[in-house]
Structure 1
Amino acid sequence: MDPYQNPYMTLPGVSAEEIGFLQQATNGLNENQQKYFFMVYSGRRKSPQDILIFTLIGFFGINGIQRFATGQTGMGILFLFTWGFCWIGTIIDLVNHRSLALEYNKKVAYESYQIAQMGGQPMV
């Protein structure tokens, strides 16, 4: 990857903390692996704005969508059946939508790193 052009800056809603994490996580990859990592990661990551929209949809419609979108199926079901913990949990998720997105994106970065290390072979 070109050291003067950071492709992570093109990701929507990316924070400085996420960029630092990604640069540190991909430090041991060669250039082709870094390109493959970026391709896989950018396709699977969720921007904080996406999580905010999902949370707002949950606040006015079906609760827990933001939790399903971040892979937290158990919490999504709990939010669904408890009206988002009587909307208190949904309000907390509205405030913490950036941390929900960052937590999910770190998990996706780890999985993408494993895929890139395998030389681009998809995990079975």
Structure 2
Amino acid sequence: MEINQNPYMSFSGMNPEEWSFLQQATADLTDNQKRYFNMVYADKRKNPQDIMLVTLIGFFCVAGIQRFLLGQIGMGILYFFTGGLCFIGTIVDLVNYKSLTTEHNRKMAFESYQIAKMQAN
């Protein structure tokens, strides 16, 4: 992989913390595995701005959509039936949307790493 070419910077909403995490996480992968990781991770990754917008929509329409998108089905159902825990949970999610997204993306990076590692050289 070329030094000037950085596939991680093509992700929308990528911050330096996530970029650094991905660089360290994929350091021991071969070039083919890194390409495969990039392809898998791109499908699983969520953009923090998208989660913020969906949380705002959930605040005014249907609560819990952001939790469903982040794979937290139980919390999504709870938010849906309680109106975002009487809007308090939705407000907290609105404040913490970046950390919710970062946590989700780290889990997806780990899953993508495992899939790429199983990929034949």
> TM-score category by the smaller chain?
over 0.9
d(CA) in 1 for partners of 2:10 and 2:37? Answer: 15
Aligned pairs for 1:56-67 (under 5 A) are 56-67=56-67
Give runs of aligned pairs for residues 25-104 of structure 1, distance below 5 A: 25-104=25-104
RMSD: 1.0
Distance (whole Å) between structure 2 residues aligned to residue 23 and residue 94 of structure 1: 28
Write out the 4+ residue segments of structure 1 that deviate beyond 6 Å after TM superposition. Answer: none
> Which structure 1 residue ranges, 5 or more long, are not aligned?
none
**Between Structure 1 and Structure 2, how many residues are aligned?**
120
Would you say 1:107 and 2:115 are equivalent positions?
Answer: no
In the alignment, what sits opposite 2:21? 21
**Once the two structures are aligned, what percentage of the paired residues are identical?**
60
- Quote the offset at 1:85 in angstroms: 1.0
Secondary structure at 1:82 match in 2: helix
CA distance in 2, matches of 1:2, 1:118: 23
Which amino acid in 2 is paired with 1:69?
Answer: L
Structure 2: gaps (5+ residues): none
